[in-house]
Chain A
Amino acid sequence: MSRRVVLALLLAAHVAYADESVTASAPPDASQQSIGAELGVATGGRVTAGGVRVAGHYLYQLSDQDWFDGVAAFTFGGGGAECFRNRMDNFVCDHGMLQGGSVEIAANVRRYFQGNDQFWPFARAGVGLSIVRFSSDSVTGLGVPLHLGGGVRASVSDGVAIVGEGELAVGFGVFNHSLGLEPQVGVAITVGAEFRL
């Protein structure tokens, strides 16, 4: 009899521990689906667009800790012609950190780490497909950036959270004007809000 009681207690303890670990692996108010909008700054340079960054997110829960994070991002930078032919007759571009424009869609995975009731840190990694444009130089390219970043999600009310994040994007783009394949490196910092669906 006592053995059954002990067994039952052990099972109950295990279930309780399992429940606790599930609730501690992600923000308790994060639902299976959310949408979000963010605003911030992206820095680029050379053939990577930089400027004001506006991004929309769609989040879908994949596991206890992981969410699919689909992003549509727009970068609006300044103008100015910065491309020229060097002495070897190669067309090169030397755009500043806040020049050019881009449109990108990206598929990421967001993983939450141990947080408290309100603040939950997360890491994000993924890949995107972007169209980059420097209109003053008539330079256009198609880029494939890899994203690696992280941030913090802060719950402010039931179903609403504030998110701040930073990311590094590295990859390559194929450009016109005989630029061909060019490396791209950019950094972005954004803040925004997420809403439970």
Chain B
Amino acid sequence: MRYVLIALALAACQNLDVSRSVGARCDMATDCNERCLTPSGAWPGGFCTVTCDTAASCPESSTCIDEQGGVCAFSCVGDGDCTFLGTGYTCKAVDSHGAGAKVMVCRGG
């Protein structure tokens, strides 16, 4: 009984890391809350994201990059920060959207 309760507690508290807003795998927009960056070399496995104007309009731990009109991607410092997204993702410098500078985000390609 104790093990069942522990298993239930762990299941209830599991860290999902990604969400339908940002980070989930996808093939089409209906897999996400808003839009899907379909599977490609740049976005292996597909990447759920939301449209943004500035970094402030992105969820926590993500920033607005200048791609497809401005989309949110996970911020990073090194490649190790991107391993949770799976094979193909590394930490890259890309143009930010709305700030005119480079930002580091997890991305393929």
Measured CB to CB, the residues of A under 8 A from B are 45-46, 81-89, 92, 94, 170, 182-183, 185
Contacts and interface: CB of A to CB of B under 8 A. Distances in A.
A13 to B, nearest CB: 44
Interface of B: 4-5, 7-8, 11-12, 16-20, 23-26, 31-33, 45, 48, 84-86
A83 B24 CA distance: 10
A134 to B, nearest CB: 13
Given A85-B31, A87-B86, A89-B45, A183 B19 contact: no
A3 to B, nearest CB: 55
Given A84-B31, A84-B32, A88-B86, A94 B26 contact: no
Contacts of B17: 86-87
A83 B48 CA distance: 12
Contacts of B86: 87-88
Contacts of A86: 16-18, 24-25
B84 to A, nearest CB: 6
Contacts of B5: 170
B7 A183 contact: yes
Best-surrounded residue of A86, A87, A94, A185 (most CB of chain B within 10 A): A87
Contact of B16 (A89, A92, A183, A185): A92
B20 A82 contact: yes
25 contacts: A45-B12, A46-B12, A84-B18, A84-B20, A84-B31, A84-B48, A85-B26, A85-B31, A86-B17, A86-B18, A86-B24, A86-B25, A87-B18, A87-B23, A87-B86, A88-B86, A89-B25, A89-B45, A94-B19, A170-B4, A170-B8, A182-B11, A183-B8, A183-B11, A183-B12
Best-surrounded residue of A82, A83, A84, A92 (most CB of chain B within 10 A): A84
Contacts of A170: 4-5, 8
Closest 4 CB pairs of A and B: A84-B24, A85-B25, A84-B20, A183-B11
A185 B84 contact: no
B37 to A, nearest CB: 14
Contacts of A85: 24-26, 31
A89 B85 CA distance: 11
